[in-house]
Chain A
Amino acid sequence: MGEPFDISYVFEYLVKLLPTLKITLLIVVSSIVIGLGVGFIVALPQLYKIPILRRFSQVYLSFFRGTPILIQLFLFYYGLPEILKLVNLDVAKVPALYFVILTYALHSGAYMAEMIRAAVGAVDRGQVEAAYSVGMNGFQAFTRIVLPQAMAIAIPVFANLVIANLKDTSLAFSLGIMEMTGKSQTLAVMSRHFVETYISLAIIYFVISFGLEKLFHLLERKLLKHERRITTEVKEQQVKLGKTKRSLLGFGYSRGGRENEA
């Protein structure tokens, strides 16, 4: 197959791949931001049970969740210009990157809509009624009462979606986008150090995913401060229990203590 394995290439390629990270991140960030907006718009008819619009958003969800993202990329990149031609719009000069961002935005929009619907639904209706009863209007009740709690509930799902989106961007190279995976593809073919290239690539994806995961975890703890107190209380009890157990049984391992460090 390729050249013999040489670990030093891994570092060399890390350096060569890193500059293309900004294209990957550009796709991720813009498609997540647009996707959130799309998700909101798609979730609304479901949340408020608006008769006909609800059907539309259902079809939207089914399509984007039921077909592979690679097919969606091809459909948008090759199909959309054809459709736009019918209305005399020439998009031949529009860079492929825009099509990629659009596709990823609509794709994650479908999952965001599901996330929003589930999170808003998880905030109990009674609190909304209480908000109305103190005289708030619908908008105030939503922004002051529902949204903060729904966001806390949605964070773990959102984190998963962002990380999935990050990994999905590796398919953009199939439209010739020189993001990280695309770049590694050319590096590998040219140098024939396949394994080294893909190890470097994997390292970068992993480090970013890992960092994101930690970041969202912190955010979740911050947003769930109203529930955290209870858990710290429980943990404190566990620590106490752990200590008594330890002193009783004479072994030096406290589960509660370790959990607190984590």
Chain B
Amino acid sequence: MIKLTQIKKSFGRNEVLKGIDLTVKKGEVVAILGPSGSGKTTLLRCINYLEKPSDGQITIDEFTVNYKRPDKKDIHTLRQKSAMVFQQYNLFKHKTALENVMEGLLIVKKLPKEKAREMSVELLDKVGLGNKLDAYPSELSGGQQQRVGIARALALNPEVILFDEPTSALDPELVGEVLGVIRKIAKEGITMIIVTHEMSFAQDVANHVVFMDGGVIVEEGKPSEIFNNPKEERTKQFFKRITPDGVYSI
């Protein structure tokens, strides 16, 4: 279980997160929606401590960090319990697909090489890249790179995987393969928080949908509630803007 309590973050005078409370159950897939600049990326980065929150508290799997005064060990543990899949993939460019996945296992988990290799091959197989083990990122398409990114995150066996718009940098014809992989691992009961603009994907994969605007959670609930029957005016407006006729085709 993950529990965020009153997460706040400011950049200078600009308060981007104004106290976020969110609970994610084990095995749950949470989709975060919201207009540009609403703080979705910042929230994910705060969970992974790539951004230092100004205030708040996080509990992952009975491990609690107070963001007011975390020590180095807390941050390290927090990062081991979460993994991030980036919008721009952020693969290690000087390492092959296999080495990208193995890196964390070797350096952070300190597994023996053979074991790390075995696990990584298996994971790359799972994301459909069993035949690209020795390819460098520069030799892979965006969709393939993102699937390596997902395998790299999976390798660490984290409590939660954080996806920040995993398909928004992809050509339309490559979106499907990546969403397919995410769907597949969602079925395995891995806890995930996904920021996405793919509404139909969110609707059909997520167990829980969160709508953010202006640094607060405006509304959250089951996908059917949020998509078909939003209560808040801001949520309604948001959906109206992205599908002007008010009908969301799924």
Contacts and interface: CB of A to CB of B under 8 A. Distances in A.
Interface of A: 124, 126-127, 129-137, 140, 144-145, 148-149, 152, 226-227, 229-230, 233
Interface in B74-97: 76, 79-80, 82-84, 86, 88, 90-96
Given A127-B92, A152-B94, A226-B138, A135 B103 contact: no
Contacts of A229: 136, 138-139
Contacts of B103: 131, 134, 144
Interface string B99-123: 0000110011100000000000000
Given A136-B104, A137-B76, A130 B90 contact: yes
A132 B108 contact: no
Most chain A beta-carbon neighbours within 10 Å: one of B94, B108, B136: B94
A177 B90 CA distance: 52
A130 B139 CA distance: 19
A226 B76 CA distance: 30
B92 A135 contact: no
B92 A131 contact: yes
A130 B107 contact: no
A252 to B, nearest CB: 32
Nearest to A227: B138
B48 interface: yes
Nearest to A143: B107
Interface in B16-63: 48-50
7 contacts: A126-B90, A127-B91, A145-B94, A148-B94, A226-B93, A227-B138, A230-B138
A131 B91 CA distance: 9
B78 to A, nearest CB: 9
Interface residues of B, number: 31
Classify the secondary structure of A's interface with B: helix
A225 to B, nearest CB: 8
A4 B100 CA distance: 67
A129 B86 contact: yes
B156 A230 contact: no
A226 B136 contact: yes
Q: Select the residue from A129, A133, A144, A230 with max chain B CB neighbours within 10 A.
A: A133
A129 B137 CA distance: 17
Contacts of B88: 126
A149 B94 CA distance: 7
Contacts of B92: 127, 130-131, 145
Contact of B107 (A140, A152, A227, A233): A140
What 8 A-B pairs have minimum CB-CB distances, sorted nearest first?
A134-B104, A126-B90, A135-B108, A130-B90, A133-B84, A226-B136, A135-B80, A226-B94
B152 interface: yes
Contacts of B109: 135
A134 B93 CA distance: 15
B86 to A, nearest CB: 6
Most buried by B among A131, A135, A152, A226: A135
Contact of B50 (A129, A144, A152, A233): A129
A144 B153 CA distance: 18
B33 to A, nearest CB: 23
A134 B152 contact: yes
B150 to A, nearest CB: 12
B139 A230 contact: yes
Contacts of B76: 135, 137
Contact of B93 (A127, A132, A135, A137): A127
Nearest to B81: A135
Contact of B83 (A126, A134, A152): A134
A227 B137 CA distance: 9
Contacts of A124: 90
B161 to A, nearest CB: 10
Contacts of B137: 226
A148 B86 CA distance: 22
B151 to A, nearest CB: 12
Contacts of B90: 124, 126-127, 129-130
Contacts of B96: 226
A133 B154 CA distance: 12
A230 B49 CA distance: 35
Contacts of B139: 229-230, 233
B171 to A, nearest CB: 19
A130 B108 contact: no
B104 to A, nearest CB: 4
B241 to A, nearest CB: 29
A152 B138 CA distance: 16
A56 to B, nearest CB: 27
A233 B103 CA distance: 27
